[in-house]
Amino acid sequence: MSDKQHLYLVDGSAYIFRAYHRLPPLTNPEGTPVGAVYGYTTMLWKLAEDLDKADGPTHLAVVLDKSSQSFRNEIYDQYKANRPDPPEDLVPQFPLIRDATRAFSLPLIEEPDVEADDMIASYARAAASQGWDVTIVSSDKDLMQLIGTSEQGGTIDMLDTMKSARIGPAEVEEKFGVGPELVGDVLALMGDSVDNIPGIFGVGPKTATKLIQDHGSLTAALDAAPEMKKSKLKERLLEHRADAELSRILVTLKEDCELPIAIEDMKLGKIPPEPLVAFLTGHGFTSLLRRIDNGGSAPGPTTQLHPAKPQNKGEAHAPKGNRQPPPEMPEVDRKAYECVQTVDRLEAWIDRAFAARLVAVDTETSDLDCMLCDLVGVSLATGPNEACYIPLGHGSDDMFAEKPTQIPLDVALAKLKPLLESDAVLKVGQNIKYDLNVLARHDIHVAPIDDTMIVSFALDAGRSQDGIGGGHGMDELAQRHLGHTCLTFKEVCGTGKKAISFGEVPLDRATEYAAEDADVTWRLHAHLKPRLAIEGGTRVYERVDRPLIPVVADMERHGIHVDRARLAGLSERFASEITRLEGEIHEIAGQEFAVGSPKQLGEILFDKMGYKGGKKGKSGQYSTDQSVLEKLDASGAPIATKVLEWRQLAKLKSTYTDALQQAINPRTNRVHTSYSLVGAQTGRLSSTDPNLQNIPIRTEIGREIRQAFVAEPGNVLLAADYSQIELRLAAHMADVDPLRDAFAAGEDIHARTAMEMFGEVDRDTRGRAKTINFAILYGISRWGLAGRLGIEADEAQALIDTYFARFPGIQRYIVSTLESVRERGYSETLFGRKTWFPRINSKNQAERQGSERAAINAPIQGTSADIIKRAMARMAPALEQADLKPGQPDGVRMLLQVHDELVFELPEDLAERAKPVIERTMAEAAQPAVSLSVPLGIDIGTGRSWDDAH
DNA sequence: GATGTCACG
DNA sequence: GACGTACGTGACATCC
């Protein structure tokens, strides 16, 4: 083996297009494609393995196209203009190519304004002129011009990895009939329809080769044209000479590009295993992963094949992952932003976004409620400080006030629509569900999308202890990851009574705020998205959460019908009952007071009336909650009964019957909740404004509120819920055979537990068994269980011991889960969703134990959330396949999700056909990613109202 | 804005 | 020896 340096330059962009077409379409069940990425990964692997071989690389770099625009577009505006959009399922793979390259710790070259071919040419020439050998990993014919040997003895050849073929001067001669130095001349005559290089019309490879062979060069061939005998070819050569000369320039590679990384720095060494393992795991590339684990061959000559153990054992409360140094980007410069006020400038920005293939988008509106607001402006960003704001609805309502210059709303939206809907351009937003809804109301259906808030959640759920949006809000992310303080909405719009709507903000100020939001979103995406692959978040993000965003947006936008008159009737009834009870309470107490004030009530009950059992909390206030009042009630305190009744009615009236009437949207006449995808650390959704996930059901009087949720005439509501899903998952995850058998046999699970625990089943033992089953899911303590069952702590401990003895898997699950969380800092669901527990090793016992209980529960609650989310993402395709017209006025529509339940509205006559489709989609939602050892049971029903559907 | 309470899974 | 006692949410009323 000689000690000659050998540089390999990988043409990554060209590779993935070929890999996409050549490889089987590897996709996961949700259809997230990874075929090309897989091909690319195996290719890098193979190259790295060749390190010590003769002719193998000593140095290696990957070159990618930065954007689809280059200096050639300035020479010829039609350059590559005919190029079709990349296939829809290739687009999401582009960023993953970068992730893969980083996972191999390989240098990555991406330069604006030139193409990958130019960078390859420049590096190849530079290396060869130092006497290095160069291999270009590509089969692109344009690059064949470079093949040959330099004066310094460095050879340049090519390697087609798909055909395992070396391409040297002989192969070029065979293909083109001329040597590499004349390939450019042949190409200039031929043209290229894909790149839209004109060439000479009617001249193909055969003719082009012959002309160059005969005349020795392009110029000579063109010069000889007048002398040729009369023919079609002669005419064409004369007529299109200029085209050929332009083409010659276009196919010429720029060989003097600035080299951003020195070739010496491309030295290929041992591939560090950690990021690679993380990447392979994250994408489920298990066959490659096994090659590392089997003591084998991480690519490259490795001395240490296994990933190092994390160094921060026992320090999980001090995570480092989300405190990375900011990436290399210029400081945010608000003066760099453009306010777009003409169609020309708008078109320029749209072109720029198409060229970049990725654009951050943000909408500004008149109100936080995306179903009530008006669109006020749109901002776009294509890079750091490359951002603009397009005002569309600025100016006060005063008709005499002068409005600022703005592109008319309909004109601007018509221009933006093709960009926002183009498969070839990824739209990135921070909480993009909001923008999806705003734009959908203007008939713009934004896709494909990425969401920095959801990416942050997939990476860092639970890491932040408090803060609006659970620590995934933009201002917070900007501060944490970019070290940047955003302009706040309050700074721009003011606060309180003096607050103005965004449409009243002067344009210069509005531009600074709005364009900054898009700019910061772009930066956050660049920073956070690569972490997904490195840290194993890709699976849950790509397969669970990302596909859900448009699904949930649709549910929000459609809303649900509530019967206003019925709610008003209930409000009236409750009001008079409340008044009556209040009078009776005051009479018993012997004075008037605010029944709704726990402070006053506590003083009345325990000080004035002298009841026993008053317990003061740390705020020095008596507790008067339900359990306290029930005890008083049982010991014969009539006032406690009345207060309990009063509390129930006051709650139902204020929170439901009054508030829901207010929540009816006057435009749609329906109630539109807003779901948060980052609201619960476990991965559950949460629902706000109004919360439709806590509509009463447990009491008779509460269920009357459910009766006000109704279908439109001719339709019915369908409710489908997972039966005991968390217990089923616990049985599976903890390997509890008796529970699994009971579920498999369709038994009453609490009765079975009672039998195992107490040896007999009756109302009492079944009820206690049910309490214990739930206690298990929540992380049990003897005192907690004792309180719930009204027994002593040592009796409760005895029950817990019995439970563990009967179901030994449970204890193993608890111990191993806690061990893992203490060591790694996070828990994981069956689908790989992480929840971090920064206080799991806290010295404060209460804090630590609280984290432990949450950590025991999170994998179960989170897996349940993953499963129903997968069902939701698959629901529309499943209904479509069954011809149930999802989303259409005469079809089936999903309206609500309540953790283990989905609510649909559909024409009455579709109900019987819809039921099995919905049931199957929900029951099979874990598959094929996860194979459960218990069946998932679904209860399903229909009715005019939500109550009737149960 | 914090606290207490209670609606849901 | 004290701590505070089941997991995950959101809305409302009161009070400071």
Inter-residue contact A192 to A199 (CB < 8 Å): yes
| Nearest nucleotide over every DNA/RNA strand to the A691 CA, judged by C1' | C10
How far in angstroms lies nucleotide C3's C1' from the CA of residue A742?
39
* Alpha helix stretches (DSSP H) within A723-830: 725-733, 737-744, 749-758, 763-778, 782-789, 793-806, 808-824
Nucleotide in closest CA–C1' contact with A682 = C8
pLDDT band at A700 (very low <50, low <70, confident <90, very high): very high
- Rounded distance in angstroms from the CA atom of residue A699 to the C1' atom of nucleotide B7: 11
Lookup: nucleotide whose C1' is closest to A696 CA: B7
Task: Using the CA of A684, give the nucleotide whose C1' is nearest.
Answer: C8
Angstrom distance, A600 CA to C14 C1': 10
With distances taken from each CA to the C1' atom of nucleotide C5, the closest residue turns out to be A784
Query: How long, in residues, is chain A?
Result: 950
Query: Average model confidence (pLDDT) for chain A?
Result: 88
Identify the band that residue A2 occupies on the pLDDT scale cut at 50, 70 and 90: low
Among A60-74, A257-271, A737-751, the range with the most confident prediction by mean pLDDT is A737-751
Judged against a pLDDT cut of 90, whether residue A518 lies above it is answered with: yes
- Which of the residue ranges A174-188, A195-209, A361-375 has the most confident prediction, judged by mean pLDDT? A361-375
- Which residue's CA shows the smallest distance to C1' of B8? A694
How far is the C-alpha of A837 from the C-alpha of A827, rounded, in Å?
8
- The closest alpha carbon to A474, from A515, A512, A430, A429, belongs to A430
Q: What is the DSSP letter of A27?
A: B
Q: State the nearest residue by CA to the C1' of C8.
A: A680
pLDDT of residue A881: 96
Nucleotide with the nearest C1' to A697 CA = B8
Amino acid whose CA is nearest the C1' of B6: A651
CA of A475 to C1' of C5 (A): 36
**Distance set, CA A774 to CA A369, A521, A770, A804, A865 (Å):** 37, 41, 6, 14, 17
Q: How far is Cα A330 from Cα A360, in angstroms, rounded to an integer?
A: 17
What are the pLDDT digits (tens) for A868-919? 999 999 999 999 999 999 999 999 999 999 999 999 999 999 999 999 999 9
Closest nucleotide over all strands to A602 (CA to C1'): B4
- Across-strand partners of A836? A826
pLDDT above 80: residue A85: no
- Protein CA A372 to sugar C1' B6 (Å): 29
Q: From the alpha carbon of A835, which nucleotide's C1' atom is closest?
A: C8
Helix (H) or strand (E) holding A159: strand A155-160
For each of the domains in chain A, give its residue range(s) and CATH number, in order of start.
Answer: 6-168+253-266 (3.40.50.1010), 334-535 (3.30.420.10), 563-659 (1.20.1060.10), 725-857 (1.10.150.20)
What's the Å distance between residue A280 CA and nucleotide C6 C1'?
37
The closest alpha carbon to A144, from A166, A120, A121, A172, belongs to A172
Task: Name the more confident of A309 and A442.
Answer: A442
Tell which strand B nucleotides have any atom below 7 Å from a protein Cβ. 3-9
Higher pLDDT, A112 or A576: A576
Task: Compute the C-alpha angle A35/A37/A42, nearest 5°.
Answer: 100
Q: What is the pLDDT of residues A389-441, one digit of tens each?
A: 999 999 877 777 788 999 999 999 999 999 999 988 999 999 999 999 999 99
Which nucleotide's C1' sits nearest to the alpha carbon of A784? C5
d(CA A836, CA A347): 44
> Stretch A740-752: mean pLDDT, rounded?
94
Distance measured from the CA of protein residue A627 to the C1' of nucleotide B4, in angstroms: 13
**Nucleotide nearest residue A662, measured CA to C1':** C11
Which residue's CA lies closest to nucleotide C4 at its C1' atom? A846
Q: Tell me the CA–C1' distance in angstroms for A673 and C7.
A: 24
Distances A411 to A373, A518, A671 between C-alpha atoms, Å: 20, 22, 31
Q: State the nearest residue by CA to the C1' of C2.
A: A845
Span CA (A805) to C1' (C15), Å:
50
Task: List the A854 CA – B4 C1' distance (angstroms).
Answer: 23
The gap between A875 CA and C7 C1' (Å) is 28
Interface residues for strand B (CB within 7 Å) are A 598, 602, 617-619, 621, 623-626, 628-629, 644, 647-648, 651-652, 655, 693-699, 702, 721, 861, 898-901
Distance CA A741, CA A749 (A): 10
Q: How far is the CA of A666 from the C1' of C11 (A)?
A: 22
The reported pLDDT for the residue numbered A313 is 33
Nucleotide showing the shortest C1' distance to residue A628 CA: B5
Q: What is the pLDDT of residue A28?
A: 47
Distance A651 CA to B1 C1' (A): 22
Q: Percent of chain A having pLDDT more than 90?
A: 61
The C-alpha atoms of residue A611 and residue A903 are separated, in whole angstroms, by 46
Specify whether the CB–CB gap between A420 and A436 falls below 8 A.
no
A103 CA, B7 C1': separation in Å?
47
- What's the rounded Cα separation, in Å, for the pair A903 and A255? 62
Query: Measured in Å, how far apart are chain A's first and last C-alpha atoms?
Result: 76
Nucleotide nearest residue A687, measured CA to C1': C10
Amino acid at A830: L
Q: Mind giving me the DSSP string for A469-526? A: GGGTSHHHHIIIII---PPPHHHHH-SGGG---GGGS-HHHHHHHHHHHHHHHHHHHH
Of A166, A216, A157, residue with least CA distance to A186: A216
Nucleotides on chain C within 7 angstroms of protein Cβ: 2-16
User: Residues of A593-621 as b/e, b for ≥16 C-beta within 10 angstroms?
Assistant: bebeeeeebbbbbbeeeebeebeeeeeee
Closest CA to the C1' of C3: that residue is: A846
B3: residue with closest CA to C1': A619
Q: What is the pLDDT of residue A32?
A: 60
Per-residue model confidence (pLDDT) at position A30: 43
Name the closest residue (CA) to the C1' of nucleotide B4.
Answer: A598
Between the CA of A198 and the C1' of B5, what is the distance in angstroms?
76
Regarding predicted confidence, which is higher, A937 or A215? A937
**In this complex, which residue's CA is closest to the C1' atom of nucleotide B2?**
A619
Q: In the 8-state DSSP scheme, what is residue A198?
A: -
**Phi (first) and psi of residue A350, to 5 degrees:** -65, -40
Band of pLDDT at residue A636, cut at 50, 70 and 90: confident
- Distance of A557 CA from B7 C1′ (whole Å): 24
Q: Which residue has the higher pLDDT, A929 or A293?
A: A929
pLDDT in tens, A599-627: 899 989 988 898 887 777 777 788 899 98
- Amino acid whose CA is nearest the C1' of C14: A597
Stretch A329-339: mean pLDDT: 95
- Which nucleotide in the DNA or RNA is closest to residue A722, CA to C1'? B9
Q: How far is the CA of A467 from the C1' of B1 (A)?
A: 14
Predicted confidence (pLDDT) per residue in A233-280, tens digit: 888 888 888 888 888 888 899 999 999 888 998 998 888 887 788 788
In angstroms, the CA of A622 and the C1' of C16 are apart by: 17
Distance set, CA A594 to CA A643, A647, A659 (Å) = 11, 12, 21
Distances (CA, A) of A903 to A29, A259, A504: 23, 58, 40
* Length A363 CA → C12 C1' (Å): 31
Q: Alpha-carbon Rg of chain A, whole angstroms?
A: 34
Q: How confident is the model at residue A69, as a pLDDT?
A: 76
Name the residue closest to C7, CA to C1': A778
Please state, in angstroms and as integers, the Cα–Cα distance from residue A722 to each residue in A309, A545, A608, A709, following that order: 39, 20, 49, 21
Residue A436 near residue A449 (C-beta atoms within 8 A): yes
Q: Determine the Cα–Cα distance for residues A449 and A426; give it in Å rounded to an integer.
A: 6
Rounded to two decimals, what is the model's pTM?
A: 0.70
Residue nearest to nucleotide C11 (CA to C1'): A655
pLDDT band at A203 (very low <50, low <70, confident <90, very high): confident
Q: Answer whether A692's CB lies under 8 Å from A663's CB.
A: no
CB distance A857 to A734 below 8 Å: no
pLDDT over 50 at A297, yes or no: no
| pLDDT score recorded for residue A340 | 97
The nucleotide minimizing the C1' distance to residue A898's CA is B9
Rounded Cα distance between A757 and A768, Å, is 10
The C1' atom of C8 and the CA atom of A680 lie apart, in whole Å, by 7
- Where do we find the tokens 């008003």? A568
